[in-house]
Amino acid sequence: MSKIIDAETAVASIADGSSVGCVGVIGWVTPDALLRALGERFRKTAGPRDLTFYFPVGTGDAQGIKGMDHVAQEGLMKRIVSGSYINPVDPLTGRRPELMRLIRENRIEAYSWPLGATMHWLREVARRSPGYMTRIGLGTYIDPENGGGKFTERAKDDLVRRINFEGAPYLFYPTWKLDTVFIYASSTDEEGNLSFENEALVSSNIALVLAAKAHGGRVIAQVRRVVPYGNRPASEVRIPGVFVDCVVVDPSMMMTTDVKFEPAYFGGRRLPFSELPLIMMSPDKVVALRAAKEVRKRELSIFGFGAAADVPLVMAEQGMFEKNGLKDYWFTTEHGSYGGIVMSGWQFSANLNPDAIVDGIQQFDAIDGGACRFAALAFAQFDGAGLVNVSKFGAANPGAGGFIDIAENAQRLVFTGTFTTGGLEVAFAEGKLRIIKEGKVRKFVDRIEHVTYSVIDGVRRGQTARLITERAVFEVTTEGLILTEVAPGIDVRRDVLDQMEFAPWKVADDLKLMDEEFFLDMPGRARAS
């Protein structure tokens, strides 16, 4: 009997009070038709009610691929646990995601866990173990001593505990069952055997399936196409049909935001470097150009969202990858694409021209095991105590994503971002930087709003860390920040020190100027591969 049904039928049996897990990485591998069908069912029937949603990663773009925003409805969503949240302004409506409104207005129980925990927790659910235990995140916002990952006042339950094991503190995430999971694949046959041959990421697909089945849960898949039974090598089938209850076919589904289908994201073709997007001259590009100087050959380098993700693209513009030079640079992100070029913006998470793709749990095994020796990450706030925040600031509640796992386990850290934000305007002329209008929001603050990571503790453990902005570079030491570089054209007192709410430990005696080439407003030099 065929397992292929329509989306409305697939979600019809989800009951009040149940828990639903779902794969997705921004727009990538997002079963949008399933989430949309569930959201529409509630709008039409006022049921099911009071669901708990588990999103290992923020799912959808809240625009063309709405993802988690389909189910962001009071009454339908009682609780959400997610590794990250999506918070863009829709250019067509000027509105932020509905889920962000529910969180800001305390309409739901919202929790945010580090991405490593959301992935590894699934393994423990699948093993029917009591829970996931880790030292990663101690002292950060996920530590119960700092809030336990609760993002709204309605979030009363302690989903994370601080425990002692053999005399040392750990964080413990108790397991609970997932009644239904939504997953995403390329192909199915009528028996529900699933393969991912045309996908840029695998993410938490496999882990969600095993977690659901360990407790009698239901697995619903969304796929692009149906292939005849026995038409694929068994090695291509990553999820056996015996674990799949039903499949919904959506041949029109997007690969990700703004990308209908691009084989270069999974190795189906090699994209020439001349077709790469050029990064327009901006403060973020200056940051990426300076951060690129920190990248070393033959060292596994992991890049986070924001200006950090532009680093491989500006390296390509500079011709650093010509004559097979890309083989000497080992790039990845927290989502499991290895090799090739990390993309930025809505295409972040996957790499163009990758060498390999691993699933989400394997990737965080590698990250937590210290395989990524160099990490370039964004920052939203940094304070005088050596703490960094990217997880909750102002009206934004993005969560940490993979930041905590990456930062705690890399050896060399670079934090990237503009010096101020909220209306910053600059000009570039003759290799110099001029501040036209200062940003309204300071990022070097007396005290951060949310503890995502203690950089100073990492330095004490032997990590090295730099903060790179468009106008200044700092070295993080156990005593505090040392200002080591400034942009040509910048006044140190007016444009740097007076824009900080705390004083750096010192200004280097041999204070250097950043390279003038970073500030030349020239078109990029993309090269053919």
Tens-of-pLDDT digits for all 529 residues of the chain?
799 999 999 999 999 999 999 999 999 999 999 999 999 999 999 999 999 999 999 999 999 999 999 999 999 999 999 999 998 888 888 999 999 999 999 999 999 999 999 999 999 999 999 999 999 999 999 999 999 999 999 999 999 999 999 999 999 999 999 999 999 999 999 999 999 999 999 999 999 999 999 999 999 999 999 999 999 999 999 999 999 999 999 999 999 999 999 999 999 999 998 899 889 999 999 999 999 999 999 999 999 998 899 999 999 999 999 889 999 999 999 999 999 999 999 999 999 999 999 999 999 999 999 999 999 999 999 999 999 999 999 888 999 999 999 999 999 999 999 999 999 999 999 999 999 999 999 999 999 999 999 999 999 999 999 999 999 999 999 999 999 999 999 999 999 999 999 999 999 999 999 999 999 976 553 333 3
How many alpha carbons fall within 13 Å on the CB side of residue 288? 28
Strands of 66-200, DSSP E = 77-82, 109-112, 131-134, 161-165, 168-174, 180-188, 194-195
Give how far Cα 521 sits from Cα of 281, 321, 409, 491, Å.
6, 22, 36, 21
* Residue burial 211-232, b: 16+ Cβ < 10 Å; e: rest: bbbbeebbbbbbbbebbeeeee
3-state helix, strand, coil in the chain (%, to 5): 25, 25, 50
Contact assessment for residue 255 and residue 224, using Cβ atoms and an 8 Å cutoff: no
Instruction: Note the Cα 366 to chain centre separation in Å.
Output: 16
Structure tokens at 258: 């703004």
Using only C-alpha atoms, the chain has a radius of gyration, in whole angstroms, of 23
Instruction: Give the per-residue pLDDT at 523.
Output: 53
Instruction: Note the Cα 206 to chain centre separation in Å.
Output: 19
Spatial CB neighbours of 93, under 8 Å, sequence gap ≥ 6: none
Instruction: Give the per-residue pLDDT at 529.
Output: 33
Segments of the chain assigned to CATH 3.40.1080.10: 7-112+178-249, 264-519
Q: Tell me how many helices (H) and strands (E) the chain has.
A: 10, 32
- Residue of 454, 365, 374, 461 whose CA lies nearest to 414: 374
DSSP structural state of residue 128: T
7-112+178-249 falls under which CATH superfamily? Glutaconate Coenzyme A-transferase (3.40.1080.10)
For residue 300, count other CB atoms closer than 10 A to its CB.
Answer: 18
Structure tokens at 478: 């156990």
Contact assessment for residue 32 and residue 253, using Cβ atoms and an 8 Å cutoff: yes
Instruction: Give the per-residue pLDDT at 508.
Output: 98
Q: Which is the catalytic residue, given 317, 334, 438, 470?
A: 334
Q: Do β-strands 331-332 and 301-303 pair in parallel, antiparallel, or remain unpaired? A: parallel
Instruction: Give the per-residue pLDDT at 478.
Output: 97
Does 322 participate in catalysis according to the annotation? no
- Gap between the Cα atoms of 357 and 264, Å rounded: 13
Burial category of 431 from C-beta neighbours within 10 Å (exposed 0-12, middle 13-18, buried 19 and up): middle
264-519 falls under which CATH superfamily? Glutaconate Coenzyme A-transferase (3.40.1080.10)
Angle between helices 115-126 and 360-368 (to 10 degrees): 120
How many alpha carbons fall within 13 Å on the CB side of residue 164? 3
- Gap between the Cα atoms of 435 and 246, Å rounded: 57
